[in-house]
Chain A
């Protein structure tokens, strides 16, 4: 039994059609799991379902053995699940430091120590701490988004395309940061378009097609699988 599990989740938006059907994703602490798949496959939707942003028609979500299917997103955040959405994942009009402070909104204790830890992980954020986030570069913004999500010291981190729109060098840098976070015993699920690079740092991967699990396996297995290579890795 994994630490954080989505079991046979079926869900859609409002009264619309099911976007994911019987989709299962799980992750253990200290593990990185990649979710891959074509555009519109339902990758973001699967993540939103695990956070409770949409209602499950069937299936369940559990953390550490507790069923949390009926909890609101805010209550799941309180359980230690942090989410970095695909778009609008920072407060663009606030400063870097204020973004981190809001990330720790639910914490009652002294947050200065956590902020210092984040600054250590992302030195650029310390340098830019008083700048408005809207004025930062794409890579710096992604670091703010990650930093904000880490402020609650989550046990589960869900990242929706953390490297969207950044250069290959910055992408490598971001992946290094993500590995560092994993080493602090956090369970990480990430959706990625850069499938090869994502699989190379992931312990396991899932390939979703039209909302269903199509392939799953360790990073290496998926990288080698000829069918996966042909349809998703462009090789």
Chain B
């Protein structure tokens, strides 16, 4: 019984939240890695682009609610996804046309494009500030829980409850579907193969008749889908704070680099590596050990390796360690 209770504690406070957070990071990390692999620069506007897409989902959710449109037990925000993605892609393509393409045509070095993306980041932040402002907004409606702690306790007779929030289930399911479709597209379709070929050897791809404009376009479309859905899932799960996405770039870049920058599978797994590391290292294990240890040994401290204030330090440390010892990432596998 105590063992079961201990397992439930871990599931409830670490595994499920880490799977959720990991999925959100994974989507961002794949976005970073795709842009890096195909357009060949580190996009520092990643976080704010995710915020930009989410902003439309928030605004449209309020609008739909005012019209009385809802999605039953599911969040209304899910209905807004196609519109938000559309706006996001439109924004990305506009930025690409007026900013990035100039440097791409000039064949500027990647560092220059990365610096340009910092500029895009500031512009994006300013636009978000003008449209929606900096304050915290909740836009989650519908059923909040799939499984409540009290229900679980009644069902099982355990002391500890297992809670599954609907946002957690939605995040994990949507991520699995989205990532599967994306990998299928990249690996099994002609267009997907041509994108990998372009990323691998641009000159030969051009000689084979691959149209670089089309590759760039599709890259931004996929990036827009990933950024918007990743951002919305994160916002639903926590709340929409426009500038928190900027902070999330550290774990997102860490995930992309842990996975081997340019490698989408690695980025996907990297998201979970970072999320689990962050949550396992900052979780206070006192309750867990109370169930496992005899009363005499019962811990009186929190048994927390690091305070949650240090969670970004964890991403940062992993990032540095990987760059020092395995700069190509910890996963084998092909690049995009």
Which A residues are closer than 8 A to B by beta carbons? 51, 73-74, 77-78, 83, 85, 88-94, 98, 101-103, 105-106, 132, 148
Query: Chain A's interface: helix, strand, loop or mixed, by majority?
Result: mixed
Q: Which of A74, A92, A106, A132 contacts B201, CB < 8 Å? A: A92
Q: Are the C-beta atoms of B208 and A105 separated by less than 8 Å?
A: yes
Chain B residues contacting A106 (CB-CB under 8 Å) are 208-209
14 additional A-B residue pairs with CB within 8 Å, beyond A85-B204, A98-B196, A105-B210: A51-B207, A77-B208, A85-B203, A91-B204, A91-B205, A93-B200, A93-B334, A94-B196, A102-B193, A102-B194, A105-B190, A106-B209, A132-B334, A148-B208
Task: Report if B244 contacts A (CB, 8 A).
Answer: no
Q: CB within 8 Å of A: which of B288-335? A: 334-335
Query: Chain B's interface: helix, strand, loop or mixed, by majority?
Result: helix
Q: Are the C-beta atoms of B208 and A92 separated by less than 8 Å?
A: no
Q: Do A94 and B197 form a contact, CB below 8 Å, given A85-B203, A89-B204? A: yes
Q: Are the C-beta atoms of B190 and A101 separated by less than 8 Å?
A: yes
Q: What's the Cα separation between A94 and B199 when bound, in Å?
A: 10
The total of Cβ contacts below 8 Å across the A-B interface reads 59
Q: Are the C-beta atoms of B209 and A78 separated by less than 8 Å?
A: yes
Q: Are the C-beta atoms of A88 and B207 separated by less than 8 Å?
A: no
Q: Which residue of A lies closest to B336 (CB)?
A: A93
Q: Could you tell me the distance in whole angstroms from the C-beta of A54 to the nearest C-beta in chain B?
A: 13
Task: Report if B11 contacts A (CB, 8 A).
Answer: no
Interface residues on B, range: 10 to 19
Q: Could you tell me the distance in whole angstroms from the C-beta of B190 to the nearest C-beta in chain A?
A: 7
Chain B residues contacting A83 (CB-CB under 8 Å) are 207
Indicate with 1 or 0, residue by residue over B192-233, a CB within 8 angstroms of chain A CB atoms: 011011011101111111100000000000000000000000
Chain A residues contacting B197 (CB-CB under 8 Å) are 91, 94, 98, 102
Q: Are the C-beta atoms of B200 and A77 separated by less than 8 Å?
A: no
Chain A residues contacting B334 (CB-CB under 8 Å) are 93-94, 132
Indicate with 1 or 0, residue by residue over B254-286, a CB within 8 angstroms of chain A CB atoms: 000000000000000000000000000000000
Q: What's the Cα separation between A148 and B200 when bound, in Å?
A: 15
Chain A residues contacting B204 (CB-CB under 8 Å) are 85, 88-91
Q: Could you tell me the distance in whole angstroms from the C-beta of A210 to the nearest C-beta in chain B?
A: 26
Q: Do A94 and B193 form a contact, CB below 8 Å, given A78-B209, A85-B203? A: yes
Chain B residues contacting A93 (CB-CB under 8 Å) are 196, 199-200, 334-335
Q: Are the C-beta atoms of B203 and A102 separated by less than 8 Å?
A: no
Q: What's the Cα separation between A139 and B199 when bound, in Å?
A: 24
Of A85, A91, A98, A106, most buried by chain B (CB within 10 Å of CB) is A91
Q: Do A77 and B335 form a contact, CB below 8 Å, given A88-B201, A102-B193? A: no
Chain A residues contacting B201 (CB-CB under 8 Å) are 88, 90-92
Q: Jot down 8 A-B pairs with beta carbons below 8 A, ordered by A.
A: A73-B206, A74-B209, A77-B208, A88-B201, A90-B204, A101-B190, A101-B193, A102-B210
